[in-house]
Each structure stands twice: as structure tokens, then as C-alpha cells.
A and B are shown apart, each in its own frame.
Chain A
Amino acid sequence: MQRRTFMWSLTGISSLLGFMLTLQLTSRPPSATTISSYIDLRTQVEEQLAEHRTLLQDIAKLNAQLAQFKASEGNQQAMRAALMRDAATVAAEAGLTPVTGPGIVIRIQDDPKLPFDPQFAGQFSKVADQEISQIVNDLFSNGAKAISINDQRLVTTSSIRLVTGLGGGTTLQVNGYPVAMPYVIKAVGDIEQMRAVLTVDNVVPLLNLMQEDCLITSHPGAHGVTVPGYNGPLPGTWAKEVAANP
């Protein structure tokens, strides 16, 4: 009797068990992504770790690349700064930038009150270019770093010309620009040396002979004399180099 009861109970339970098993098996999603066991989970973790390592390597590579790019950018900036410095130096050397410093100012102006010498009086207007050229050349060779005539900066391509007009009058042109009396020569440089050469050359007495007043003043302060930068056309403005292989 007991065995019979057991068998029927077991049959009932077995039926239920079979039903539940089928239900469970058919209900399980067929997807392989389902983590059904510890081993699956571990495999997945290992895969993720491997992927993580790969990604870390990628990050390291990209960081190195980024550092390289930044370094090259830095080099370009440094090069650019160096080129800018060079350009500034060249501009200063070429006289394109205004300069200031201790120096002298020579002011030349007609002065009829000066003693009249028939041999020399009035000659200055005929030789002004030569006289002024002589003065600036002497100054340049004796301590002058920058010179301007009536605010026309003298550079390597500068010209000092005396141009005779149709009426017979003469006009002094510096850098192609006409300048009028009084002629003011500003020179930044060694004051003593510049004054010395002017004295040795007898500039003042010679000008005085031509009834020209020549007043030389010294400005020893750090900003004693300011010479403007050259603002005229540069040689390369119009004339271009002929290309070797056109």
C-alpha cells in the first residue's frame, strides 16, 4: 500500500517535474549572450579584461601620438618665435623700427647775420647734398647707430640728392622726399665720438662760412634722441627677383 502510494505520488511529482523541466528548457532564450554559469561569466570577464588591455594599449599609443603632435607643434611655435625674433632684429638693423637713445641733434639753418664771405656765402644751397652726406657719413663711421634728416631715416638704400627745379631753385631730397630748412639731423650713438668728428672736420666753421648756422646739441639721456623708422618703399616692393626656373 505504501509502495503504491509512493508510486502514484512519485508519478505525480515526476509529471510536474517533467512539465517544469520542459517549461524551463523551452523558456530559456537561445541567445548565447545569456550568462548561465560561473564558467561563462569567467570567460566573459577574461574576454573583457583582454579587451580592456587592448584598449589601454590603444590609449597609450594615441597618447604617444598626441605627445608627438604637441611636441611638433611646440617646435613650430619655437621656430616661429625664433623667426619673429630674427625678423625683429633684421627690421631693427634695416632701420625699419624707430630707435631712441643718447645722441646729438644738428640743426642747420640759413643765418644772414653771420659774416658775409663772398667766396662761400650762399654756396650751401648748391652743395647741401654733399655737405650733409659728408656729415652723415662721418657720423656713421664715428659711433652713430641711427640717423635721420628731417625725420627721414637713413637706411642702406637712402639717398640724399639736391634736385634743381625748372626755376633754378634747388631742393634737397632725402629718400626721395623733399626736405626744407632747417635741416635737422638726428643721430643716436656715441655723443663724444660724433661731436669729435664734427669738430675735426670743422663742420660748424665751414657751414658758418657759407652763412649757415649749425647748432649741435647733445642729448645724453636714455631717450635723448628718437630717430623714426624708415617707412618708404623697400627694394623688394617693386623689383622682384627673376625666378631661376620659370
Chain B
Amino acid sequence: MIWLPVLGLILGAAIGLVANVSIPVAYSSYLSIAILAALDTVFGGIRATLEKSFDSTVFLSGFIVNTLLAALLAFLGEQLGVDLYLAAVVAFGVRLFQNLAVIRRIAFRRWKERSGKPMG
């Protein structure tokens, strides 16, 4: 079952390559921020699953809203002449690492529990 998201990732990449769609350079920053938001959502979802508090509504809405909001923030920042997208980058970046840290800890704890050793 774990291979399904990986397969999805590969499928998405394949579609992107085959479709050969290109976006204007001006919108490149919006897309990059959207990618960051998506990554944040994915890792947030994995964390929630590991913590057994996953909610698909929160997950999907989080992905859509975060992505759109980040893109909107980037657009607003460009209009105002302030690099507002940096705020999104920082926020998503910090959360990404936090999520990764939590996932790592949980994974580590489970592995320890499985090997029968008590946590230090």
C-alpha cells in the first residue's frame, strides 16, 4: 500500500513530462511556493497518520487552501513590491522540518519498540 503514493508521484511526473506544458517564468515563483505547500501538506498528512489523527478533509482542504494562499501571498507581495512569498517559504519550511522531525522521532520510536529495546 505504501508504494501507491510513490506510484502517484511517478505518474504525476510522467504526465508532466508527456504533457510538455510550460508555464511563463513570471509564474514560476507561484508554482514553486505551491510545490512547497504541497510538500508541507504531504508531510503533515504523514505525521497526522503516524499520530493517528489524520482527517482527509483537513488534509485535502489544507493542501488546496495552503497552495492557493501561498500563491496569493506571492502575487500580493509582487504587487506591493515586498517579498511576501518569503514569509510563506519560511513558514512552510519551518513546518516541513518540524513535521519531518516528528515523523523521524515516531519512526525511530516504533523501530525501537519493535526491536524490543526501551527508549532512552
Residues of A within 8 A of B (CB): 2-24, 26-29
Q: Whole-angstrom distance between the alpha carbons of A24 and B45 in the complex?
A: 23
Which B residues, 35 to 68, have Cβ-Cβ distances below 8 Å to chain A? 35, 38-39, 41-42, 45-46, 49, 52, 54, 56, 59-60, 63
Chain A interface secondary structure, helix, strand, loop or mixed? helix
Q: Is the CB–CB distance between B16 and A19 below 8 Å?
A: yes
Q: Is the CB–CB distance between B60 and A17 below 8 Å?
A: no
Q: Is the CB–CB distance between A11 and B49 below 8 Å?
A: no
Residues of B within 8 A of A9 (CB): 45, 56, 59-60
Q: Is the CB–CB distance between B12 and A8 below 8 Å?
A: no
Q: Whole-angstrom distance between the alpha carbons of A20 and B38 in the complex?
A: 9
Residues of A within 8 A of B6 (CB): 14
Q: Is the CB–CB distance between B31 and A22 below 8 Å?
A: no
Chain B interface secondary structure, helix, strand, loop or mixed? helix
Residues of B within 8 A of A7 (CB): 1-2, 4-5
Q: Is the CB–CB distance between A29 and B25 below 8 Å?
A: yes
Partner of A10, one of B8, B16, B23, B52: B8
How many interface residues does B have (CB within 8 Å)? Answer: 40
Asked if B21 is an interface residue, CB under 8 A from chain A, the answer is: yes
Q: Is the CB–CB distance between B7 and A28 below 8 Å?
A: no
Q: Is the CB–CB distance between A14 and B9 below 8 Å?
A: yes
Q: Is the CB–CB distance between A28 and B28 below 8 Å?
A: yes
Q: Whole-angstrom distance between the alpha carbons of A3 and B77 in the complex?
A: 38
Q: Is the CB–CB distance between B32 and A22 below 8 Å?
A: no
Residues of B within 8 A of A (CB): 1-2, 4-17, 20-25, 28, 31-32, 34-35, 38-39, 41-42, 45-46, 49, 52, 54, 56, 59-60, 63
Q: Which residue of B lies closest to A23 (CB)?
A: B16
Q: Is the CB–CB distance between B45 and A18 below 8 Å?
A: no
B63 to chain A, nearest CB (A): 6
Q: Whole-angstrom distance between the alpha carbons of A104 and B14 in the complex?
A: 120
Q: Whole-angstrom distance between the alpha carbons of A202 and B6 in the complex?
A: 139
Q: Whole-angstrom distance between the alpha carbons of A24 and B11 in the complex?
A: 16
Q: Whole-angstrom distance between the alpha carbons of A60 and B54 in the complex?
A: 69
Residues of B within 8 A of A20 (CB): 12, 16, 31, 34-35, 38
Q: Whole-angstrom distance between the alpha carbons of A14 and B54 in the complex?
A: 17
Partner of A23, one of B2, B4, B23: B23
A10-B42, A20-B31 known; A15+B59 contact, CB < 8 A: no
Q: Is the CB–CB distance between B38 and A16 below 8 Å?
A: yes
Q: Is the CB–CB distance between A14 and B45 below 8 Å?
A: no
Residues of A within 8 A of B35 (CB): 17, 20-21, 24
Residues of A within 8 A of B15 (CB): 15, 18-19, 22
21 contacts between A and B (CB under 8 A): A2-B49, A3-B1, A3-B49, A6-B56, A7-B2, A11-B4, A13-B60, A14-B9, A15-B15, A17-B12, A17-B38, A18-B15, A19-B13, A19-B16, A22-B15, A23-B23, A24-B23, A26-B22, A27-B22, A27-B31, A28-B28
A14-B6, A15-B8 known; A21+B45 contact, CB < 8 A: no
Q: Is the CB–CB distance between B17 and A22 below 8 Å?
A: yes
